[in-house]
Amino acid sequence: MTAPSFQNLASLVRQEIAAIAGYVPGEQPQDTGWTKLNTNENPYSPSASVVNAITAACEGRMLAKYPDPFANQFRAQAAEVLGVDPRMILCGNGSDDLLTILVRCFVGAGDAMRVPTPSYILYQTLADIQGVSCDKVAFTDDWLLPPAFANPCTDNGQPVKLAIVPNPNSPSGTLLPPEQLLDLAEQLSCPLVVDEAYGDFSDTNCLDLVRQSERIIVTRSMSKSYALAGIRFGFAVAQPGVIEQLGKVKDSYNCDAIATAAATAAFADQDWLRKNQSCIRATRTRMSNELRRFGFSVIDSQANFVWCTHPDRSHREIYESLKKKHILIRYMAYQGWGDGLRVTVGTDAEIDVLLTALGRILKEEK
């Protein structure tokens, strides 16, 4: 019997997998010399205690052993800082891992999940991989959720088994008040996930809602506010009974020893976090004001990026012109919403480079 070729093997994957393009991450140039403002990484180095923790985690036979499957070291530290029971925390390989776990746990064949649009494009990919529908409900013009978001079924009659709301939202950087999300959770007939990947940069968050409603699950990332995008660590906060069920479907050892040690050390240094938040917010304000001076419409952001549009300049051409100068920002286009530019808040020096180049580009295009 002739062994099947790789081409034939590829034809055997699930139809829904073969049909999708997959998630396309932001550009990650491997060479030096770039001003990188496209993927919302923190522009500063993490707390010095993180490096010490990583070094200690590599000593002896630590790397030869499997890690704690539930990252209890981090759970204890985070619980102390957040004022919750450790049993209310589930850790993952970045908050994307937690989103995968949530979709896997709550949404089955014939069901749907609901998300707002424009928002994080990974949500659609997770639905595609799970083989379920992703019901996208458009934000209102002022970036609020319409009443239809609380409907128990899609327009096609599929039951909605999970709703995800990014807060602050990307690409807009806008924030929905916690009381609105609590009201939404009471109207929905399914769990509500509040994706707070950028929550540490906002004026408020939804962690207290978890104590008030078993229906609410909050996910957090260590990538943005703690400057740990390179190690991949995130966590979810929910009632203990919910966390217990989510733990059944996570990968066996989804948090490695080095990432757990680094995240624990980072979370313990809340002084570093507060100083970093202050720097990011100050630079965000300055960058927003300067972009407005260049004629951009800039939404007031509660995240570590801003969303801007220009009334008479091509957003794609601005993006391409900046890229030629080794400056990366994110060009994004959404069906029914047009396009725009999302710009990460970098260091003051990086923003100076951006603004200088942008001023020249806008003059050249006149």
pLDDT at 335 over 90: no
The average pLDDT across 338-348 equals 98
Alpha carbon distance 36, 28 (integer Å): 8
Which range, of 7-16, 21-30, 101-110, averages the lowest pLDDT?
A: 7-16
**Cα gap 183→162, rounded to integer Å:** 16
Q: What is the pLDDT of residue 347?
A: 99
The answer on pLDDT for 6 being more than 70 is no
Q: Are 330 and 341 in contact (CB under 8 A)?
A: yes
Residue 352: is its pLDDT beyond 90?
yes
Give yes or no for residue 43 having a pLDDT over 80: yes
Dihedral of CA atoms 242, 245, 251, 253 in degrees, nearest 10, equals: 70
Q: Where are the domains of the chain?
A: 9-38+271-364, 48-269
Is pLDDT at 210 greater than 90 in this prediction?
A: yes
* pTM summary value: 0.95
Start-end of H helices in the chain = 6-10, 15-18, 48-57, 72-82, 95-106, 122-130, 178-187, 207-212, 240-247, 257-268, 270-293, 315-324, 348-364
CATH class assigned to 9-38+271-364: alpha beta
CATH topology of domain 48-269: Aspartate Aminotransferase; domain 2 (3.40.640)
pLDDT over 70, % of the chain: 98
Cα-based distances in Å from 218 to 234, 258, 281, 358: 11, 24, 23, 37
Exposed/middle/buried for residue 87 (C-beta within 10 Å: 0-12, 13-18, 19+): middle
Q: Span 216-237, mean pLDDT?
A: 98
Output the pLDDT for position 3. Answer: 64
Chain mean position to CA 16:
24
Enter the tokens of residue 314. Answer: 């091509």
CB atoms within 10 A of CB 24: 9
- Whether residue 174 contacts residue 144, with contact meaning beta carbons closer than 8 Å, is answered with no
Residue whose structure tokens are 């180049």? 357
Distance of CA 27 to the CA centre of its chain: 16
Give me the residue label for tokens 């794609």. 316
Q: How far apart are CA 166 and CA 173, in angstroms?
A: 10
